Amino acid sequence: MRVLLVEDNAELVALLVKGLARNGFSADTVDNAGDAAHALAAMRYAAVVLDLGLPDEDGLSLLRGMRGRGDSTPVLVLTARDGVSDRVNGLRAGADDYLVKPFAMEELVARLQALLRRPGNMLGRRLTFGNVSLDTEGRQILVDGTVRSFPARETAVLEILLRRGGNVAPKRLFEDQLFGLSGDVGSNAVEVYVHRLRKMLADCGANVRVHTVRGVGYLLTEDKTG
């Protein structure tokens, strides 16, 4: 699941990217409000982690602009401003949650996960289709109740398919969620990960199949013949 991290402290960004990755999140990072606005216009993110003390403008201005455009992406404000009035102003500007620095990585992840479990947002704790299930917080895959180990990218592909559950997932969605703004995506990169996932599912006895919908994307179906 891809998030946008808006933070100008490079050392903190490096720690956050690693901590988020350990918990199943991929992060695109920007260090100013202008680049954040461009990123939000280019992609749909699961959530935004937003510092307020940005070099070009206050993060609250970016947040107000998002809400003014009707952008309802969940926003977790991450800031050193710890006064009651600061928290109130952040929430009134449209923040969904507010975390004061310094903080524990575990709390940030837990707050993000809680935001994404809210009705209308993207994260259910357990996704199930056929005999395959994924614990989105623990990143644990089970097939017929047995824990299976899949690499991170293949797990991310499976998560996208499980979220669509019987509906076509566009190829662009995989490109955005797997590679984000990095541009590190070859013409057949998604196909490679889908092919690997197909083999892994078949090898561990899953009764779901990944179908290619030519020119559109991919579809997960349940094989009920067995």
Q: What is the CATH number of the domain that holds 134?
A: 1.10.10.10
Q: 90 Cβ partners below 8 Å, 6+ apart? A: 52, 60, 63, 77, 79, 81, 98
Residues 144 and 80 in one domain: no
**Quick check: 48 pLDDT over 70?**
yes
- Asked whether 139 and 98 are in contact (CB, 8 A), the reply is no
**Quick check: 127 pLDDT over 70?**
yes
Over residues 138-190, the pLDDT tens digits come to 788 999 999 999 998 899 899 889 887 778 888 888 887 788 766 556 668 89
Q: Pick the residue with more confidence: 30 or 26? A: 30
Residues 67 and 142 in one domain: no
Residues 65 and 106 in one domain: yes
Residues 82 and 180 in one domain: no
**Quick check: 11 pLDDT over 90?**
yes
Residues of the domain holding 109: 2-117
Q: Is residue 107 exposed (0-12), middle (13-18) or buried (19+ Cβ within 10 Å)?
A: exposed
Over residues 187-210, the pLDDT tens digits come to 688 999 999 999 999 999 999 999
Quote the mean pLDDT of the chain.
87
Residues 46 and 77 in one domain: yes
Supply the pLDDT for residue 16.
Answer: 94
* HSE, side-chain direction, 13 A CA sphere, residue 109: 20
Domain boundary among 117, 142, 163: 117
Paired residues of 27 in beta bridges = 3
CA distance 213 to 152: 24
Q: Average the pLDDT over 19-46 and give the result.
A: 90
Supply the pLDDT for residue 184.
Answer: 59
Residues 66 and 171 in one domain: no
Handedness of CA 197, 73, 167, 130 (dihedral sign): positive
Portion of the chain with pLDDT greater than 90, in percent: 51
Q: Is residue 19 exposed (0-12), middle (13-18) or buried (19+ Cβ within 10 Å)?
A: middle
pTM here is: 0.65
Supply the pLDDT for residue 178.
Answer: 80
Portion of the chain with pLDDT greater than 70, in percent: 93
Supply the pLDDT for residue 71.
Answer: 87
Q: 96 Cβ partners below 8 Å, 6+ apart? A: 74, 75, 76, 115
**Quick check: 132 pLDDT over 80?**
yes
Residues 11 and 110 in one domain: yes
Over residues 64-122, the pLDDT tens digits come to 999 998 888 899 998 888 888 888 888 889 999 999 988 999 999 999 988 887 754 45
